[in-house]
Amino acid sequence: MNQDLETDYIVRINMEEIDPRKASVSIFDHGFLFGDSIYEVVRTVNGKPYAWKEHLKRLRGSCRSINLELPWTDEDLQRDVDTAIASKRWDGETYIRLIITRGAGQIDLMPRTCKNPNLIVIAKELPELRARLHEIGLVLCVTEVKRNSRLAMDPAIKSGNYLNNVLALIEARGKGADDSIMLNENDHLTECSTSNFFLVKDGGVKTPSLDCGILAGIIREKIIGIALSEGIPIEETSLTLDDLRSADEVFITGTVKGVVPVNRIIGQVEWEGEPGAITEQLREAFYVSSGM
């Protein structure tokens, strides 16, 4: 870590601002020991958290799924995030990572000794998207690493246990791609390491349905809404490698990346394409409606 920590980050732990160079949680926190935590990544638009209500709802859902009871109200969480944003020392928009860990306890998988969850808010300047990605698109790799089964570690839970995605990304980068696209145990397409996946075929848009085992992405939901309102056919369904081979356009979505075209896919499939007209239409409509 570098000496710019102090200026580059705002850190709040349990609602108190902490010097980022000294910010720490216990090594007995089950978030550290077992990945027993949940998180959200939110970004601002014009200084306000974008789609805050949706993030809060997903956060509450993740907490319910792991039986983590929060001592904080929605207002508490919003105030804490707003305070972090207000303390910023940069000009641009803000990236906010809101983490809730199980808290410190005995070395025992059962969380019964963890009495107090920790609430951590880390804010930094939102990274500018590299122009290359937006103009020419990125390269995905269909990795050998598969997405966790919904029956094992449901990808709908935005948990701090991202080892599955880390392994897929390491494989993808090792093969020269920007990101992975993972299959599920039925060899259906799921999602990328931190983004949702879409393809365009014959003027219609298709994206893996939630039951394929993906995170219910907030930008994914916005794109589905925009496609409906623009009269572009949209289907949430199961997609195979054959669907990918015959796709006309491919793009991915996420809070940090926005909507990004894909120009090449490697790994278990070889596909090449241009950022296409439908991707461009959806991207444009999304940026206009979100104010990004």
Q: Is 256 in the site for ligand PDD (CB under 6 A)?
A: yes
Closest Cα to residue 224, out of 243, 237, 213? 237
Q: Write the CA distances from 266 to 16, 82, 246, 259, integer angstroms.
A: 46, 41, 14, 20
Q: Is 292 in the site for ligand PDD (CB under 6 A)?
A: no
For residues 252 and 81, give the distance between their C-alpha atoms in angstroms, rounded to a whole number.
Answer: 27
User: Could you tell me which stretch among 108-116, 199-207, 213-221, 274-282 binds ligand PDD (CB under 6 A)?
Assistant: 213-221
Q: Is 179 in the site for ligand PDD (CB under 6 A)?
A: no
Q: Is 180 in the site for ligand PDD (CB under 6 A)?
A: no
- Nearer CB in complex with ligand PDD: 217/275: 217
Q: Is 195 in the site for ligand PDD (CB under 6 A)?
A: yes
Pairing of strands 118-125, 9-13: antiparallel
Number of residues written out for the chain: 292
Q: Is 220 in the site for ligand PDD (CB under 6 A)?
A: yes
* Of residues 93-122, those binding ligand PDD (CB under 6 A): none
Residues 6+ apart with CB under 8 A from 83: 12, 17
Q: Is 83 in the site for ligand PDD (CB under 6 A)?
A: no
- Nearer CB in complex with ligand PDD: 41/170: 41
With beta carbons less than 8 A apart as the criterion, state whether 47 and 92 touch: no
What are the DSSP calls for 4-73, one per residue?
Answer: THHHHEEEEETTEEE-TTT----TTBHHHHH--EEEEEEEEETTEETTHHHHHHHHHHHHHHTT---S--
Amino acid at 134: H
State the binding string over 137-166 for ligand PDD (x if CB under 6 A, else -). ----------------------------x-
User: Could you tell me which stretch among 84-92, 169-177, 241-249, 252-260 binds ligand PDD (CB under 6 A)?
Assistant: 252-260
Of positions 181, 182, 212, 219, contacts ligand PDD by CB under 6 A = 219
Nearest distance in Å: CB 17, ligand PDD: 22
Q: Is 41 in the site for ligand PDD (CB under 6 A)?
A: yes
For residues 135 and 201, give the distance between their C-alpha atoms in angstroms, rounded to a whole number.
Answer: 21
Q: Is 140 helix (H, G, I), strand (E, B) or coil?
A: strand
Of positions 255, 261, 269, 282, contacts ligand PDD by CB under 6 A = 255
- Which residues would be at the binding site for ligand PDD (CB under 6 A)? 41, 165, 191, 194-196, 215, 217-220, 253-256
